[in-house]
Amino acid sequence: MLVVMSGTAEARSKHGPGGFEDVVKDFWASRPRRPQEGRKVAGVAAGIGKRYGLDPVVVRVALVTATVFGGAGLLFYLLGWLLFADERDQVSGFESMIGRGHSAMSKGFTVVACIALIPIVSWVFSGSWFSAGWLGGGGFIGTALLLAGLFLLHRDRGHLNRPLAATGSGAGLGATGHEFNAAFSMSGTDAKASGEADSPATPPKWDPLGAAPFAWDLPDPNPAPEPVPPAPPAPPRRRRSKVGIATFGIALLTAGAGVAGNLTGVDWFTVQHVIGMTLGVLGVGLVIGAFTGGGRGLIGLAIPLSIAGVVLTSVPGGVHGGFGDLDLTPRSAAELQPVYQRSAGDITLDLTKLPAGGPPVSTEIRNGAGSVEVKVPGDADVTFTCQTSAGNIDCLGHEQEGVGWGPVTAVDLGDDGAGGQQIKLNIHNTAGKVEVRRG
């Protein structure tokens, strides 16, 4: 009976639930647990890989790619951190916060992580993560692909490495089977002990003359020492894969070609495109290395490049102009450039030296990371749009602070009212302070 019940449970577990609702419920009941070994940050990718019998590198590549193209990978990783329990804990950090068990994750950190979900969800699904970058609307696409991949993965491989907490009945059957075997072995031993003892038919080596037949069933007082088993042969040394070195070389050549194209004036080779091409090469190398056992070191290069790509491509219209500070004071409308751009650095633009009563002027400032400061004449009529993805805005008394906010647009005529020089400013910053003040 035990065999029949165990086989039925095993067949049900192997083929997995049938419908969509059953798959989702079974995933939640047997969701991955974050292991201590093999983790890079919180163990989310390692837990998914261990749960479904995959190389964690494949999972990390998928999450990094989804982070670069839309931000969904970062959202999924943070959700996994909150909802997947550590292998040493009873429940996940989120479940512990609502009083359903114990978790080593502090409630303070859990609250901070839950709050961090708000701006991340806003960035991913508002389309501003890469609104003018490599892939517009990538947050929706990445989320759909990750959800579909996780659903298919659990449907086809959900029977592998199921956590013990999710297989209580199976564990009970196993324990019963062990108890049954142990009881059977003990009963057999007792039955044999209760019967007649088998006597040896020939004298042992220590009594060759047969002088003590009553003690022939006793062990030899001087048994021969058992031979020492030979040491197991050393496992063959695994050949080191050359995927990582080859991928790094190709990525270096790709980045060099992109930089050379940028220096020669080819418009397509922007900083964003160079980073995108390099990340594409690294991604291919990581996928190949996942199947050949190499290329793990490429993750350390792909992660900072991904972060740089997110920063540089989240500015509307893209970021150009190189790195470093700009400090300019145009003295005529002809000297005022229509666009000032920097990938990273501080931009200071002083417009107080423009001639009074001159023609209307306008300029646009785009910066990746750094502060932007613009000084305007005290009597100028200023129309401005100020925006920063993360940081502070203080534009002629209009203030804003935080992340994920929209632009600040207003018209300021100064203390003297209308009639001054007309200046139009359009400022976009990714991370840092934006300030417009009168000089």
pLDDT tens digits along 77-114? 888 888 998 888 888 888 888 888 888 888 888 888 88
What is residue 46's predicted lDDT score, i.e. its pLDDT? Answer: 87
What is residue 6's predicted lDDT score, i.e. its pLDDT? Answer: 37
Query: Contact, 400 vs 408, CB < 8 A?
Result: yes
Helix segments in 92-132, DSSP class H:
93-97, 107-126
Same domain assignment for residues 356 and 388: yes
From CA 423, how far away is CA 431, in angstroms rounded?
25
Q: Which of 152, 169, 186 is the last residue of a domain?
A: 169
| CA 343-347-353 angle, 5° bins | 145
What is residue 313's predicted lDDT score, i.e. its pLDDT? Answer: 56
Tokens at 368, concatenated: 């990746």
Query: Contact, 275 vs 130, CB < 8 A?
Result: no
> Closest Cα to residue 252, out of 282, 297, 286?
282
What is residue 190's predicted lDDT score, i.e. its pLDDT? Answer: 45
Residue 217 belongs to a domain: no
Residue 77 belongs to a domain: yes
> For the chain, what percentages of helix, strand and coil (3-state, to nearest 5) are there?
45, 15, 40
Residue 253 belongs to a domain: yes
Q: What is the pLDDT of residues 342-368, one digit of tens each?
A: 877 899 999 999 988 788 999 999 887
From CA 26, how far away is CA 301, in angstroms rounded?
36
What is residue 154's predicted lDDT score, i.e. its pLDDT? Answer: 84
What is residue 166's predicted lDDT score, i.e. its pLDDT? Answer: 40
How many residues would you count in the chain? 439
Same domain assignment for residues 81 and 157: yes
Task: Give the single-character DSSP code of 197.
Answer: P
Query: Contact, 389 vs 380, CB < 8 A?
Result: no
Query: Contact, 372 vs 344, CB < 8 A?
Result: no
What is residue 223's predicted lDDT score, i.e. its pLDDT? Answer: 63
| Structural domain range at position 307 | 243-313
Residue 71 belongs to a domain: yes
Same domain assignment for residues 251 and 350: no
Same domain assignment for residues 348 and 302: no
Enclosing H/E stretch for 375: strand 372-376
Tokens at 230, concatenated: 């030979």
What is residue 376's predicted lDDT score, i.e. its pLDDT? Answer: 94
Same domain assignment for residues 307 and 352: no
From CA 18, how far away is CA 6, in angstroms rounded?
20
Residue 183 belongs to a domain: no
What is residue 423's predicted lDDT score, i.e. its pLDDT? Answer: 94
Tokens at 144, concatenated: 């759909």
What is residue 327's predicted lDDT score, i.e. its pLDDT? Answer: 92
Q: Which of 142, 169, 196 is the last residue of a domain?
A: 169
Q: Are strands 398-403 and 381-395 parallel, antiparallel or unpaired?
A: antiparallel
Residue 91 belongs to a domain: yes
Same domain assignment for residues 12 and 105: yes
Place of tokens 């002629």: 396
Q: Which of 169, 192, 214 is the last residue of a domain?
A: 169
Same domain assignment for residues 13 and 143: yes
The number of CA neighbours under 13 Å toward the Cβ of 58 is 16
Enclosing H/E stretch for 389: strand 381-395
Same domain assignment for residues 111 and 10: yes
From CA 31, how far away is CA 76, in angstroms rounded?
14
Number of domains in the chain: 3
> Closest Cα to residue 354, out of 385, 380, 386, 382?
380
**Residue type at 422?**
Q
> Closest Cα to residue 145, out of 28, 67, 55, 82?
67
Same domain assignment for residues 290 and 397: no
Same domain assignment for residues 16 and 121: yes
**Main-chain phi, psi angles of 170, to 5 degrees:** -60, -40
Tens digit of each residue's pLDDT, the chain (439 residues): 333 333 334 434 444 446 778 888 888 888 898 888 887 788 888 889 888 888 888 888 888 877 777 778 888 888 888 899 888 888 888 888 888 888 888 888 888 888 877 777 776 766 544 443 434 445 677 777 788 888 888 888 888 888 764 433 333 333 333 443 444 344 444 434 444 445 556 666 665 666 656 555 666 666 666 777 777 676 555 555 677 788 888 888 888 887 777 677 666 677 767 777 787 787 777 767 766 666 667 777 777 776 666 655 554 444 455 667 889 999 998 899 999 988 778 999 999 999 887 889 999 998 877 899 999 998 899 999 999 887 889 999 999 887 667 899 999 988 888 888 899 999 998 878 999 999 8
Contacts of 141 (CB under 8 A, 6+ apart): 69, 70, 135
Residue 218 belongs to a domain: no
pTM over 0.75: no
Contacts of 434 (CB under 8 A, 6+ apart): 371, 372, 386, 387, 388, 391, 392, 393, 394, 395, 427
Same domain assignment for residues 264 and 337: no
From CA 291, how far away is CA 86, in angstroms rounded?
27
Same domain assignment for residues 13 and 148: yes
What is residue 411's predicted lDDT score, i.e. its pLDDT? Answer: 93
Query: Contact, 213 vs 201, CB < 8 A?
Result: no
**Main-chain phi, psi angles of 329, to 5 degrees:** -135, 85
Residue 309 belongs to a domain: yes
